[in-house]
């Protein structure tokens, strides 16, 4: 179901959290599905205690409901809750995205674009332009716009 995690990253519990959120957003784990810590831990290749940390965080955020005996259910959510959760998740990752954006900009300067990259490049061009402008407010507004567009696309494909 889920691919093993990269153990070179700073926090495996955070990676587990991100992997579970991504699996829910990508519908690999459906709303109302029961998920079990042991199965997720085995799938991700990490100890159960780290998955427990991720589950606790997801339960506190309202995405999971505890069902007892290590089981949880992915809670049914409203569209506005999806947008809010997505925004929280993306904004919490903004610091990493900033570094990744700078790396992507450098990569784009070194290697020519491939035809399959055109749509991705077009969607991210305003972000890269705002970063290149060295204007923090422009970068903030571009990120907010990008997150909003992504949330709208997600809701449209539900």
- pLDDT averaged over 10-residue windows placed end to end, the chain, 158 residues: 64 88 85 90 93 91 81 79 65 61 64 61 81 82 83 69
pTM of the model: 0.50
Asked whether residue 62 falls in the same domain as residue 85, the answer is: no
Sign of CA dihedral 106, 121, 81, 38: negative
Asked whether residue 26 falls in the same domain as residue 85, the answer is: no
Asked whether residue 137 falls in the same domain as residue 122, the answer is: yes
Asked whether residue 56 falls in the same domain as residue 88, the answer is: no
Alpha helix segments (H runs only) across 26-93? 37-44, 48-60, 79-92
Longest dimension (CA), the chain: 53
Position 97 scores a pLDDT of 57
Position 106 scores a pLDDT of 65
Q: Domain range spanning residue 101?
A: 79-156
Of the candidates 151, 132, 12, the one whose C-alpha atom is nearest the C-alpha of residue 87 is 151
Neighbours of 64 (CB within 10 A): 21
Asked whether residue 95 falls in the same domain as residue 132, the answer is: yes
Position 51 scores a pLDDT of 93
- CATH number assigned to the domain comprising residue 44: 1.10.10.10
Q: Which of 74, 96, 127 is a domain's end point?
A: 74
Q: Which of 23, 41, 74 is a domain's end point?
A: 74
Asked whether residue 84 falls in the same domain as residue 141, the answer is: yes
Position 112 scores a pLDDT of 58
Position 62 scores a pLDDT of 83
Position 48 scores a pLDDT of 93
**Number of domains the chain is built from:** 2
């Amino acid at each position: 179901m889920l691919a093993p995690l990269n153990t070179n990253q700073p926090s495996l519990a955070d990676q587990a959290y991100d992997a579970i959120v991504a699996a829910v957003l990508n519908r690999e784990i459906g709303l109302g599905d029961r998920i079990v810590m042991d199965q997720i831990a085995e799938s991700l290749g990490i100890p159960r205690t780290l998955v427990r940390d991720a589950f606790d965080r997801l339960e506190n955020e309202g995405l999971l409901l505890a069902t007892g005996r290590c089981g949880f259910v992915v809670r049914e959510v409203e569209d506005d809750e999806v947008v809010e959760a997505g925004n929280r998740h993306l904004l919490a990752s903004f610091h990493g995205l900033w570094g990744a954006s700078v790396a992507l900009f450098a990569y784009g300067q070194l290697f020519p674009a491939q035809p399959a990259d055109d749509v991705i490049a077009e969607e991210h061009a305003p972000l890269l332009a705002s970063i290149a402008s060295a204007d923090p407010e422009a970068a903030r507004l571009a990120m907010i716009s990008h997150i909003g567009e992504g949330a709208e696309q997600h809701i449209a494909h539900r």
